[in-house]
Amino acid sequence: MRRKTEASRWWAEVELQVQFFDLDPMQIVWHGNYIKYLEVVRCALFDKIDYNYVEMGASGFAWPVIDVQLRYINSAKFGQRLKLRADIVEWENRLKIEYLITDAETGARLTRASTTQVALNMASGEMCFVSPPVLLKKLGVE
């Protein structure tokens, strides 16, 4: 596991623009849509390590999210460009990813988050208590 001051070896960033359909009646991004933003950058991260959802399934494992933590710092608004970043910070017994959502222009922090996922053997339906070798191989830590 890395210390908070260290950069992750496995990370991805994407930018997106806030769309009208993501807003709530107060004209800010509805809190539930941040989960969707996490998924967008998580997919980019999985693509970057060559272990996206198709490859996960082909390897015989699913990785359900078992925990989500979100801290809203500031609201995102219509038309705002966001930078989404995801970093893998734990991988041995579970997959923990930390996220940072910032204003793409100013760098101002908007949201911090983390997700925890565990490997699930698709054939048996059993949760794995250690990450399967395929993940370690994709991360280059086997």
| Predicted confidence band of residue 6 (pLDDT cuts 50, 70, 90) | low
Strand-strand pairing, 11-17 and 61-62:
unpaired
pLDDT confidence tier of residue 103, bands split at 50, 70 and 90: very high
57 backbone dihedrals φ, ψ, rounded to 5°? -60, -40
In a domain, 5, yes or no: no
Stretch 108-133: mean pLDDT: 97
**102 in any annotated domain:** yes
Q: According to the model, what pLDDT value does residue 13 have?
A: 98
Specify the DSSP class assigned to residue 77.
Answer: B
- What's the number of domains the chain is made of? 1
> Residue 36 belongs to what domain range?
11-139
pLDDT value for 8: 79
pLDDT at 3: 44
Task: Write out pLDDT tens, residues 50-94.
Answer: 999 999 999 999 999 999 999 999 999 999 999 999 999 999 999
131 within a domain of the structure (yes/no): yes
Residue 70: give its domain's CATH number.
3.10.129.10
6 vs 115: CA distance, rounded Å: 19
Asked if residue 67 belongs to a domain, the reply is yes
Mean pLDDT over 99-117 rounds to: 98
pLDDT band at 142 (very low <50, low <70, confident <90, very high): confident
Pick from 21, 123, 10: which is nearest to 62 by CA?
Answer: 123
Residue 2 lies in a domain: no
Predicted structure pTM score: 0.92
Taking Cα atoms as reference points, which of 112, 132, 137, 135 lies closest to residue 121?
A: 132
- Determine the average pLDDT of the residues in 9-34: 97
Q: Is 141 left (phi over 0), alpha (psi -120 to 50) or beta?
A: alpha
